[in-house]
């Protein structure tokens, strides 16, 4: 006697049955992983990939195989039989098939909707952006977690609102996935990002230019490389800028004058790094001023080439704040931060100098760097006969790991930071450069345009006379070490280069000397 079948005979084929098994496997895996994810209470980027991306794909593929197998078998049957399939609800097989189809389709649509929703949000998460491609994104993710924007999702800056840039980012991301899988991605990841969305559509969703404070006080803490790690402090009144209420037309002032709506600022960079400019053009209404290198003419043909290569840009926030969330601090700056926070004990003799030295070498691996830092610090303090707390070594090692990534060749000097002009050209790309108008007028380089020094000197001053205090028109900058007026003859970044090369052999008790002018 023939075995009774509950479904139409078209369902009984290897392709469809394999599809049923595959779909059940995918569904079971999703449910199990979802439950494990809830019970564990921990986030795992790879678990998320399988739960929301891979196994849902297995489920969908299995479901697609079912009708494909039925269609294939029906064609085989049609070769010997011209019958037309008729849905007869009087037959139990047909009723079962209809119930299963309606129920399965409803569940499938529900799960697909939930899966798409969860999958969309997962691919937009910080976990997905920073941890899935672990080695590739490790530098960016680590720097981001230590940045002022650590509570802002990556997509809010890199994509922003709207479907247009969402689609662009996913298309670009697909190409990057293949590079990560094949290991063909560059080391380090190159910047700046050529097709980054304009800052007005992302940054200004939170930062509101019209509401900037006209000025704010900023304290800069430095530690010298002498035995006592002398704490030197500079307090600046930063002229952030905003609408000048005393001006009848509300002209902007201060640093953010550059991106005010009344001003139109454009520049042509010499190359893709945007660290050197061939032309700067300022416009307001009918007035236009053009600065070029040496005041030389800039032909239209050259402008067309610059535009085609993407070297012509309208100045926006990201041209100065080019490392808002992915800052790799130099050894000098990173050690200063550790000392002022107390994570690295400033009472340890020479610790500023020796920590910077240990962090300044280029290492092949992070593991090798950790060992070398420990050996260097232990070796120096053993030679000097000074006991060293292991916590100090650990603090230096952790500081290195947060800012240097040997495997990806990512470190501070690979990524210029244009916020200031201490280690990189930054502001001096325009101000004080060789850019000039045809009549020889140059862009002003007066420091007081952007900030005023209100106090400077050692924190633990032996006498009041050793610490400068507020003056009506601001203070003239005083270098912590006497470099015979070099601070006025050259620009900061020409001497300060962020690593141990600033230290020369010890001179007397100070053991510190600034790098000589090049």
pLDDT at 512: 33
Q: Which residue in 93, 153, 161 sits closest to 123, CA to CA?
A: 153
Give CA–CA dist 281/299, Å, rounded. Answer: 14
Give CA–CA dist 437/434, Å, rounded. Answer: 10
pTM over 0.85: no
H-helix segments, 41-54: 45-49
Quickly count: other Cβ atoms within 10 Å of residue 365's Cβ: 10
Mean pLDDT of the chain: 81
Check whether 92 has a pLDDT greater than 80: no
Place of tokens 């090798």: 368
377: enclosing H helix or E strand: helix 366-384
Check whether 120 has a pLDDT greater than 80: no
Paired tokens of 210: 């019209």
Determine the average pLDDT of the residues in 142-164: 85
pLDDT at 119: 66
Give CA–CA dist 360/344, Å, rounded. Answer: 17
Percent of the chain with pLDDT over 70: 79
Give CA–CA dist 128/121, Å, rounded. Answer: 10
pLDDT at 443: 93
Lowest mean pLDDT across 77-86, 257-266, 358-367, 380-389: 77-86
Supply the Cα-derived Rg of the chain in whole angstroms: 32
Predicted confidence band at 348 (pLDDT cuts at 50, 70, 90)? very high
Determine the average pLDDT of the residues in 329-344: 94
Determine the average pLDDT of the residues in 370-392: 96
Place of tokens 């977690």: 145
Backbone angles phi, psi at 283, to 5 degrees: -135, 145
Predicted confidence band at 388 (pLDDT cuts at 50, 70, 90)? very high
The full DSSP string for 278-296 is: EEEEEEETTEEEEEEETT-
Lowest mean pLDDT across 176-180, 222-226, 349-353, 503-507: 503-507
3-state secondary structure (DSSP) of residue 299: coil
**Contact assessment for residue 418 and residue 200, using Cβ atoms and an 8 Å cutoff:** no
> What sign has the CA pseudo-torsion 6, 11, 13, 16?
negative
Determine the average pLDDT of the residues in 431-459: 90
Predicted confidence band at 296 (pLDDT cuts at 50, 70, 90)? very high
pLDDT at 102: 73
Paired tokens of 142: 């680590």
Paired tokens of 126: 């910080």
Determine the average pLDDT of the residues in 448-452: 88
pLDDT at 471: 57
Place of tokens 């007028």: 441
218: enclosing H helix or E strand: strand 216-223
* CB-based burial label for 355 (10 Å; 0-12, 13-18, 19+): buried
Q: Which residue in 425, 472, 424 sits closest to 445, CA to CA?
A: 425
pLDDT at 134: 64
Q: In DSSP terms, which residues pair with 281 in a beta bridge? A: 266, 290
Extents of the domains making up the chain: 9-123, 128-185, 215-246+327-414+446-518
Render pLDDT for 5-54 as a digit per residue (tens, 0 to 9). Answer: 566 666 777 787 778 877 877 777 777 767 766 666 555 555 566 666 67
Lowest mean pLDDT across 100-109, 186-195, 416-425: 100-109
Predicted confidence band at 328 (pLDDT cuts at 50, 70, 90)? very high
The C-alpha torsion from 456 through 461 and 465 to 466, rounded to 10°, is: -60
Going from the C-alpha of 490 to that of each of 181, 260, 282, 443, 477, the distances in angstroms are 47, 30, 27, 17, 13
């Amino acid at each position: 006697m023939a075995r009774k079948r509950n479904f139409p005979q078209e369902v009984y084929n290897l392709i469809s049955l394999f599809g049923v098994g595959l779909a059940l496997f995918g569904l079971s895996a999703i449910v199990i992983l979802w439950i494990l994810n809830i019970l564990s209470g921990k986030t795992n980027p790879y678990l998320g990939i399988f739960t929301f991306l891979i196994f849902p794909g297995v489920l969908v593929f299995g479901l697609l195989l079912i009708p494909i197998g039925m269609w294939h078998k029906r064609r085989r049957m049609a070769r010997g039989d011209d019958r037309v399939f008729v849905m007869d609800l009087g037959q139990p097989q047909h009723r079962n098939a209809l119930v299963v189809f309606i129920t399965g389709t409803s569940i499938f649509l529900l799960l697909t909707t939930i899966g798409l929703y969860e999958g969309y949000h997962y691919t937009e998460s910080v976990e997905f952006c920073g941890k899935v491609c672990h080695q590739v994104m490790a530098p960016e993710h680590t720097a981001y977690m230590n940045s002022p924007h650590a509570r802002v999702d990556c997509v809010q800056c890199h994509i922003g609102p709207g479907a247009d840039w969402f689609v662009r980012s996913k298309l670009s991301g697909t190409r990057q996935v293949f590079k990560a899988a094949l290991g063909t991605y560059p080391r380090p990841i190159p910047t700046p990002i050529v097709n980054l969305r304009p800052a007005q559509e992302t940054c200004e969703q939170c930062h509101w230019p019209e509401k900037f404070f006209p000025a704010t006080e900023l304290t800069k803490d430095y530690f010298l490389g002498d035995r006592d790690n002398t704490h030197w402090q500079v307090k600046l009144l930063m002229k952030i800028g905003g609408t000048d209420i005393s001006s009848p037309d509300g002209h902007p002032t201060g640093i953010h004058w550059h991106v005010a709506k009344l001003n139109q600022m454009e520049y042509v960079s010499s190359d893709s790094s945007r660290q050197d400019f061939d032309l700067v053009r300022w416009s307001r209404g009918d007035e236009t001023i053009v600065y070029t290198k040496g005041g030389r003419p800039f032909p239209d043909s050259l402008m067309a080439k610059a535009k085609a290569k993407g070297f012509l840009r309208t100045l926006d926030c990201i041209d100065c704040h080019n490392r808002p969330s992915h800052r790799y601090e130099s050894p000098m700056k990173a050690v200063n931060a550790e000392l002022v926070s107390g994570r690295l004990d400033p009472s340890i003799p020479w610790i500023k100098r020796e920590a910077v030295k240990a962090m300044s070498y280029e290492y092949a691996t992070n593991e090798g760097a950790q060992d070398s830092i420990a050996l260097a610090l232990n070796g120096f303090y053993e030679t000097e006969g000074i006991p060293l707390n292991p916590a100090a070594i650990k603090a230096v090692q952790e500081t290195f790991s947060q800012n240097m990534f040997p495997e990806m060749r990512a470190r501070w000097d690979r990524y210029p930071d244009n916020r200031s002009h201490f280690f990189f050209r930054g502001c001096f790309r325009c101000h004080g450069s060789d850019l000039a108008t045809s009549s020889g007028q140059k862009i002003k380089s007066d420091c007081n345009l952007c900030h005023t020094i209100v106090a400077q000197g050692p924190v633990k001053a032996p006498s009041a006379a050793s610490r400068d205090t507020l003056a009506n028109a601001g203070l003239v900058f005083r270098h912590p070490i006497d470099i015979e007026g070099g601070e006025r003859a050259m620009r900061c970044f020409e001497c300060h280069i962020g690593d141990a090369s600033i230290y020369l052999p010890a001179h007397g008790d100070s053991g510190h000397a600034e790098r000589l002018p090049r």
